[in-house]
Structure 1
Amino acid sequence: MEKLLPRFLEYVSIDTQSDPHSKTTPSTEKQWNLAKKLVMELHQVGMQEVSIDENAYIMATLPSNIDKKVPIIGFISHIDTTPDFTGKNVKPQIVENYDGKDIVLNKAKDIVLSPDYFEDLLQYEGQTLITTDGTTLLGADDKAGIAEIITAMEYLTQHPEIKHGEIRIAFTPDEEIGRGAHKFDVDKFGAAWAYTMDGSQVGELEFENFNAAKAKIKIEGKSVHPGYAKNKMVNAIGIANEFLSLLPPKEVPEKTSDREGFFHVHKIKGEIEKAEIELIIRDHDENHFEARKELLKDITEKLISKYGDFLTIEIEDQYRNMREKVEPVFHIVEIAKEAMESLGIEPIIKPIRGGTDGSQLSYKDLPCPNIFAGGHNFHGKYEYVPLESMEKAVQVIVKICELTAIQIK
């Protein structure tokens, strides 16, 4: 475990932010910097069949050390960080024996990580926290997962008395922009099932996630001198505002939780002759999800009837709820649950209000629940991860490997 912290600190120092506007894989050249380092490190810790393809997908094998045949299982994390907040020049700070009080991230900018606002901090009193310096994200999403997987594989290599079957691991690019599984070669990976190490607090175990889609509404207007505009001007901005007013006001991220779905408008731009709205649609229930897409189409048709053929809408599905694919093989969740309980960790089984590589991989016939990696407040300057949580994640990986070899006939 002594290498876990320095390993993580080294990973987060490498900028791997992905770019949703890029058409390449990986979407940013800088993701290669971490990818190539990880390939070298996997060789150093004794992994076999280490490979990296032309799209920066990394795979490696820890061979079985038992005589009987058991299913090949896998562990997966992603190398990129979100484009929502800068990951350049990350300067992590280490807070030892956290006292439960405010943590000053950046005195000059008056940026404070406070338990008054982030109550989860109080769970980690007395522990070692890794935080940002208030100017960048940290990158625990998902470099904590990478560090945990490599550390677990190293531990198993050094402790052959722990019996396990063949273990496959993979690190993917571009998960944060929804493409992490797009070019993942499931056949090459060869696992019967896998776990993404991409969750948050200790104990999280997730096998259902949002159904997800994105929508773009384009509005074409007509610009006429405002003094002579009656019955002639078509103001695209005004129509865009009307469109937004017809969305359910309480079905937004900031007013929903648990299994409640939402519409999230994340971009709007416009002038009189042209406006665009970009939003995402999320719902755990498939029927509700389809109804949300239909509502957007209905609003578009209503405004076309009112103003004329000035609007178009494009809706694109992004990923589906993995629950449908995991439930038929629910023993893979039970193994992870037993692994946590045997280590004194209380499993927190809840739906993901988002998506992971696992949701897409499950629909590529690689059932893939999600397990905690330990971090909190992802995608921003208040991100932090307790070292003890990362250590527990390593222990869970090791225990899952052990239990799979013991239990599966």
Structure 2
Amino acid sequence: MPKPIEDYFIDLVSLDSESHDERGMADRLTADLKAMGALVTEDDAAASTGGNAGNIFARFPGIADKAPILLCAHIDTVKPGCGIKARKTGTRIESDGTTILGADDKSGVAQIIHGIRKAQGAGIPLAPIEVLFTVCEEIGLLGAKAFDKSVIRSALGYAFDSRDLNSLTIAAPSQNSIRIDIFGKEAHAGVEPEKGINAIRIAAEAISIMPMGRIDFETTCNIGVINGGISGNIVPNHVHIKGEARSHNARKLQQVCDDMRRAVELTVEKHEHDSYKAKADISIRTEYTKFNIADDHPVIANAINAMLRIGLKADLRKGGGGSDANIINAAGIPMIICGTGMTGYHTVEEHIEIADLEKGVELVAALIGCYSQS
């Protein structure tokens, strides 16, 4: 007899699985999926991610002439995620306050496992089911990027990696990462500062004229990391800057990245001493590309039917973050994002209501059931 969803979830979060260290989760889920009747494989993603486990991919057989449905969640967590001590407190599950809980995304993992079990017990013929549990999602969607998407046979899919059970994320932006190295000229700050070129000052000036924050309703950009200097009495000759830009519009994303680049170039050009000129190396890289699923697409219609069947609202929304769904959509498999009920994720205040865990199980089973009968 399987454990109740809340106890199974607590079992999963007790397994350490910070990004790069998902071995325990991978082994547990492989065993659980096999016990449920799935054919399970683990890929070699660890070779490219630098972790100790690969992505887990499982297939459940079903109606012969029906394309599979894909269910996806990630098995890694952010830090601090080791030694999690989950506890039931009234109607919710939370950590002891020294770590995250790991509901992001082990609530989704647990709901997929229990939801498939519920669907299997419903007494109706089921479509084939594919399950993808990815590694290293939290550090750049590395597992999904490394996974061979050509093995997926599903017609549509659902990622369980959002908060609100009543919403469906049907669009998400592209993201570009921005890396900037500014090179000035070192000098003694007290004896001959005029002979130096202060890289920190250049960085500050450049950042001050960059677009920043929310640019418009579908575009954002940010500078999140700046490192430079070694001592207060030395004019710093190097600064490293990390930032990002996101947009649901490819043209706007390109424009904001161009504006950030030009801000650095214009500022650097103004700083020189004698024959030495400040320099900058700027790298802009696409991390993932946007998706936007049409409202009348079958992946949305199936989800709405399933959610209404179990008393959820099915609000359609555009997201601001990236997830495995960006990578799967880019491979040509339509995927939207469902909520799990996780709250306060990426903080030590993270928690989840037991009722939401249970509702997520109903949602997974309903998605499978509605799709199988369509």
**TM-score for the superposition, normalised by structure 1:** 0.82
2:4 paired with 1:3: yes
After TM superposition, the structure 1 = structure 2 runs for residues 262-273 of structure 1, keeping only pairs within 5 Å, are 262-271=220-229, 272-273=236-237
1:144 partner amino acid: S
- Asked whether the equivalents of residues 119 and 366 of structure 2 are also in contact (C-alpha less than 8 Å), the reply is no
2:93 paired with 1:92: no
- Asked whether the equivalents of residues 70 and 404 of structure 1 are also in contact (C-alpha less than 8 Å), the reply is no
- Asked whether the equivalents of residues 17 and 87 of structure 1 are also in contact (C-alpha less than 8 Å), the reply is yes
SS at match of 2:106: helix
Structure-2 separation of matches of 1:221 and 1:33: 47
2:242 partner amino acid: E
More strand by share: 2
Change (3 A) 1:2 1:258: farther
Structure-2 separation of matches of 1:129 and 1:163: 34
- Asked whether the equivalents of residues 73 and 194 of structure 1 are also in contact (C-alpha less than 8 Å), the reply is yes
- Asked whether the equivalents of residues 259 and 351 of structure 1 are also in contact (C-alpha less than 8 Å), the reply is no
After TM superposition, the structure 1 = structure 2 runs for residues 19-98 of structure 1, keeping only pairs within 5 Å, are 28=20, 30-44=21-35, 46-55=36-45, 56-64=54-62, 66=63, 69-82=65-78, 85-96=79-90
SS at match of 2:325: helix
- Equivalenced residue count is 353
Tell me the equivalent position of 2:130: 168
Tell me the equivalent position of 1:297: 261
Structure-2 separation of matches of 1:52 and 1:152: 22
TM-fit CA distance, 1:93: 2.4
1:80 partner amino acid: D
TM-fit CA distance, 1:276: 0.8
Tell me the equivalent position of 2:270: 306
Identity %: 27
Deviations 1:201-256 (A, max 9, x none): 221201111210111110112112235536521011111111221123xx42xxx5
Structure-2 separation of matches of 1:172 and 1:230: 52
2:357 partner amino acid: M
- Asked whether the equivalents of residues 322 and 360 of structure 1 are also in contact (C-alpha less than 8 Å), the reply is no
Change (3 A) 1:76 1:257: farther
TM-fit CA distance, 1:189: 2.5
Tell me the equivalent position of 1:125: none
2:22 partner amino acid: Q
Structure-1 separation of matches of 2:93 and 2:286: 36
2:23 partner amino acid: W
**TM-score for the superposition, normalised by structure 2:** 0.89
- Asked whether the equivalents of residues 201 and 389 of structure 1 are also in contact (C-alpha less than 8 Å), the reply is no
Gaps of at least 5 residues in structure 2 are 46-53, 230-235, 272-276
- Asked whether the equivalents of residues 74 and 168 of structure 1 are also in contact (C-alpha less than 8 Å), the reply is yes
Aligned pair partner of 1:219 in 175, 182, 191: 182
2:132 partner amino acid: A
